[in-house]
Amino acid sequence: MVMGVDQEASRHVFEDLPDGGRIVFTMVDPGDSAGIATIRAHLRAIADSFAAGVFRDPALVHAQDVPGTAVMTRLMARIQYRFQERDYGGELRLITEDPEALAAIGAFLAFQRSDHRAAGHEGGEHQH
């Protein structure tokens, strides 16, 4: 409910990158324009809340504090969040030059990959 679309009807990728990482969230059905719009709105809202150090949505989705978010909150001024539209959804980049923030982003993405049973890079296999 927090993400606005059925997880079985969508795909996630949580990819580590040298300067942070990215979350790619897309609909499986390219004709689901309502789902695509919902994903884009969700990722824009997540970018704004993460930039403010608020990680309420991941905690609600996973029913627990998500690893890395306490450090990401403390170091919020050292992390940039950039949303970009993509075919069938969107992408949220998490960017930092700070080693501690980079480690926290890595922990956050690793937890997300595991809990969502999602790929770690585009073209990777989902565990669904």
Residues 119 and 113: beta-carbon distance below 8 Å: yes
pLDDT single digits (tens) 71-98: 999 999 999 999 999 999 999 999 999 9
Q: Where are the alpha helices (DSSP H) in 1-128?
A: 33-51, 56-62, 69-74, 99-116
Q: How many alpha carbons fall within 13 Å on the CB side of residue 48? A: 5
Look over the chain and give the mean of its residue pLDDT values, rounded to a whole number: 86
Give the pLDDT band (50/70/90) at residue 63.
low
pLDDT-derived band at 109, boundaries 50, 70, 90:
very high
Question: What does R_g of the chain's alpha carbons equal in angstroms?
Answer: 14
Closest CA to 122 of 18, 19, 14: 14
More confident residue, 120 or 49: 49
